[in-house]
Structure 1
C-alpha cells in the first residue's frame, strides 16, 4: 500500500519557499519589539520618544504589523493543500496524516509558548489547521470564496461597529498604557527568576489567547488558511505566468487597499477602533499583495536566482522561527544578557535584520549538507513514522 512521504526537493514550489522566507523577516521585525519591550501593554503611538523611533514606528506599523502572520497562514494552507493532493495521487489517507501532523505541531507550539516565548503562533496554526481539515473536501474555488467571506464580512461588521463607537463613546476606544502590567513585565523579564518569567510568560500568552479573543484570532487566521488551501488546489502559484495581468490587478488593488486601511490610525486617530481596523482588516489585504508581488517578481529568472537564499530560509521556516525566539529571549531576558527594556525600537529592528541575515547564511550552509532543517526533520520523522531525512552526499 502506498504511504505518505515528505515532499522531495524536486517537487517543491520555490515561490512558496521564498514567500515563507520573506514572511519570517517581517515576523521577526515585529516580534523583536516584544522580545525587548512590553509591547503588549503599551500605547505604541506615544511610547517611542527618540526621533529615530518615532520616525520608524509608522513604517513598521503600516508595512509590517499584522501583515506577515496572515501571509504565513496563507502559505500554511497552501502547503496543506499540496499534501492533500499528493495523498490523493498516492491513494493514501490524508486526514489521519493531517491530524497527526497538526497535533505534533501543537506540541511544538506548547513547548515554544510556555518554555521559550509567549508570542507563539504555532498553537493557533495547529488548532485552526485542524478546523481547516473539516473543509478540505471543498473545491479550490469554494475554499477561496468561503475564506474570503469569513474574513471580509465579520471584519467589516466589527470595523463599522468600532467606528460608530468612536462617535458614541470616544473615551471607550482610547489607546492607553497599562502601567501595572508593564511594570510586572519589566520586573519579570529584566531581572526576575526563571519561575517568575514562566508565570509572566503564561500571563502574556493568556492575555492574547483568552476565550474573549479567540473569535478574533479565529477570524484573522482561519480564513487566510482557507484562501491559501483553495489557491493550492487551483495551483495558482504554478500558474502565475499564465494569469499575469490578472495578478497585476489583484496585487495593485490589494496593495492600495491595504496601505490606505493600515494608514487610518496615522491620518485619523490612533485609537483602538482604527488600530483594530488597521490590523484585522488592512493586514490581510497587504498580505495578499505581498504574495502576489513576490510571485510576479519571481517570474524574472535573475530575481528567481537571487532569491535562493530566501527560499532556503523558507524551507527551514519552523527551525528559523523557533531560533528567532531563542535568540531574542537569550539577549533580553534575565537568564541571558538581561537587556529587556534597554534598547530602542531602531536598535531592536537593526538587530532583527542582522540576525535574519545570519539565518540566511546558516540556512544555506545547512541545506547544502541536509535536506531539511533540524525541527523540520523531527516533525517529519514523527509525522511519517520513519526517518526520511538523510544527509546529502
Structure 2
C-alpha cells in the first residue's frame, strides 16, 4: 500500500502559502510583545505610557491581537484536508502517517514551549489536530457547518454571560495588572539564570494552557481547524476567482462584523467582558476576512507578483515561527542581550517587522537552493523515515 507524501512544489497553492506567510507577520507582532514585556499579566489598556505606544496599541489590538492564530489554525486544517484528499486519490494510508506527523509536531512544540518560549502554539495545534482526524472523513460542507456551530454557539453563550456579569458587577470584570507575576517575570527573564527562566517559562505556559483554560483553547482552535478543513475539501481558495462578487460581499460582511466586535473595548468599555468578545468572537471573523482579501488580491497578476515573496515565508512557516522565538528570546532574555522590559511597544513592533522582512528574503534565498526549510525537512524526516524503512524491508 502507498503512503501519502509531502506536497510537491507543482501541487502547492500560492494563496495558501501567501496567507500563511502573512499570518506569520501578524503572529510575530503579537509574540514580540510577550518577548519583551510581561504581556500575560498587564492591563494592556493602561500599561503603555509613551504617546507613540498609546497611539499604536489600538491598531494592534483591533487589527492584529488574536486575529492571526485562528487564521493559522484554519490554514492548518486546510492543509490537512488537502493531504487527506491526495492520499485518498492515491489509495494511500493517511491516518497512521497523519498521527505520526502530529506526534512529531507535538514533540517539536514541547521543546519550543519549555526550552524556548512559553507562548508556543504547536502543542495545541498537534493535540487538537488529533481530534480533527476523527472528523476528517466528513464532507467539506459538514465540516464547515460543524466547525461554525462549534465556534458560534459556545462563544455567543460565554459572550452574553460575560456582558451580563459586567452589568451586575463591573468590578468583577475590570482589568488589573498582576504586580506579583509582573515582578517575577521581569526578574526571571531580565535578570535570572537559565534555570530561573525555565521555571518562569513553565509557569507562564501553565497559566495559559492549564486545566482552567484548556476547554476555552479547544473551543477557539478546533472549530477553526474544522472550518479550514471543510474549506480545503471544497477547494475554496482554488475556486474563489470564479465567484468574485460573492466573496467580495462576504469580505464586507466578515470584515464589518469583525472590526465592530474587535473595537468594543474602545467604543463601549475596556473590561474583561468586551475583551473576551473582541478576541474570542470578533477575531475569527476578522481572520476569515483577511484570508478572503488576500485570495481576492492574488487574482490580480501584478498584486500577486508583489505578494509572492510572502509565499516563501509561508512555505517555511515552521522554521520561521521557531526562528522568531529564538531571536526574540535571545534579544530580551538574560541569557542573551537581557533587554526584557526595556523597549517600547513601538520599538518592538518595528523590530518584528524588520526581522520578518529579513526572514522573507532569507526564505526566498533558501528555497532557491533547497525544496524545504530546515525544520520542515526535520519534520518530514522524522515522520516518513520509519515508513520508508519498512518499505525497504528493514
Q: 2:347 — aligned with what?
A: 347
Q: 2:257 — aligned with what?
A: 257
What is the alpha-carbon distance in structure 2 between the residues aligned to residue 221 and residue 7 of structure 1? 24
Q: 1:7 — aligned with what?
A: 7
Deviation at residue 2 of structure 1 after TM alignment: 2.2
Question: Is the contact made by 1:381 and 1:387 (CA closer than 8 Å) also made in structure 2?
Answer: no
Secondary structure of the corresponding residue to residue 212 of structure 1: coil
Question: Is the contact made by 1:4 and 1:384 (CA closer than 8 Å) also made in structure 2?
Answer: no
Q: Is 1:300 equivalent to 2:318 in the alignment?
A: no
What is the alpha-carbon distance in structure 2 between the residues aligned to residue 305 and residue 216 of structure 1? 39
Secondary structure of the corresponding residue to residue 307 of structure 1: helix
List structure 1 segments (4+ residues) > 6 angstroms apart after TM superposition. none
What is the alpha-carbon distance in structure 1 between the residues aligned to residue 312 and residue 59 of structure 2? 27
Question: Is the contact made by 1:257 and 1:285 (CA closer than 8 Å) also made in structure 2?
Answer: yes
Q: Is 1:280 equivalent to 2:280 in the alignment?
A: yes
Deviation at residue 124 of structure 1 after TM alignment: 0.3
Question: Is the contact made by 1:21 and 1:312 (CA closer than 8 Å) also made in structure 2?
Answer: yes
Q: 1:58 — aligned with what?
A: 58
Deviation at residue 3 of structure 1 after TM alignment: 2.4
**TM-score scaled to structure 1, two decimals?**
0.98
Q: Is 1:188 equivalent to 2:188 in the alignment?
A: yes
Secondary structure of the corresponding residue to residue 177 of structure 1: coil
Question: Is the contact made by 2:3 and 2:94 (CA closer than 8 Å) also made in structure 1?
Answer: no
Question: Is the contact made by 1:188 and 1:197 (CA closer than 8 Å) also made in structure 2?
Answer: yes
Summarize the Cα distance change of 1:41–1:301 in structure 2 as closer, same or farther, 3 Å threshold. Answer: same
Summarize the Cα distance change of 1:387–1:380 in structure 2 as closer, same or farther, 3 Å threshold. Answer: farther
Q: 1:221 — aligned with what?
A: 221
Secondary structure of the corresponding residue to residue 240 of structure 1: helix
What is the alpha-carbon distance in structure 1 between the residues aligned to residue 334 and residue 325 of structure 2? 15
**1:109-162 deviation per Cα after TM superposition (whole angstroms, max 9, x unaligned):** 000000000000000000000000001111000000000000011000000000
What is the alpha-carbon distance in structure 2 between the residues aligned to residue 359 and residue 125 of structure 1? 23
What is the alpha-carbon distance in structure 2 between the residues aligned to residue 235 and residue 267 of structure 1? 38
How big is the alpha-carbon RMSD for the aligned residues of Structure 1 and Structure 2? 1.0
The 5-angstrom pairing of residues 313-352 of structure 1 reads 313-352=313-352
Q: 1:161 — aligned with what?
A: 161
Deviation at residue 387 of structure 1 after TM alignment: 11
Aligned residue pair count: 388
Deviation at residue 386 of structure 1 after TM alignment: 7.1
Secondary structure of the corresponding residue to residue 157 of structure 1: helix
Q: 1:356 — aligned with what?
A: 356
The 5-angstrom pairing of residues 68-79 of structure 1 reads 68-79=68-79
What is the alpha-carbon distance in structure 2 between the residues aligned to residue 195 and residue 174 of structure 1? 34
Q: Is 1:128 equivalent to 2:131 in the alignment?
A: no
Q: 1:174 — aligned with what?
A: 174
What is the alpha-carbon distance in structure 1 between the residues aligned to residue 216 and residue 380 of structure 2? 31
Q: 1:391 — aligned with what?
A: none
What is the alpha-carbon distance in structure 1 between the residues aligned to residue 343 and residue 183 of structure 2? 16
**TM-score scaled to structure 2, two decimals?**
0.97
Greater mean deviation of Cα atoms: 282-291 or 297-306: 297-306
What is the alpha-carbon distance in structure 2 between the residues aligned to residue 320 and residue 71 of structure 1? 17
Question: Is the contact made by 1:106 and 1:123 (CA closer than 8 Å) also made in structure 2?
Answer: yes
Q: Is 1:383 equivalent to 2:390 in the alignment?
A: no
Secondary structure of the corresponding residue to residue 96 of structure 2: helix
Question: Is the contact made by 1:74 and 1:228 (CA closer than 8 Å) also made in structure 2?
Answer: yes
What is the alpha-carbon distance in structure 2 between the residues aligned to residue 328 and residue 159 of structure 1? 34
Greater mean deviation of Cα atoms: 364-373 or 377-386: 377-386
Q: 2:392 — aligned with what?
A: none
**1:205-239 deviation per Cα after TM superposition (whole angstroms, max 9, x unaligned):** 00000111011100110000000000000010110
Question: Is the contact made by 1:101 and 1:379 (CA closer than 8 Å) also made in structure 2?
Answer: yes
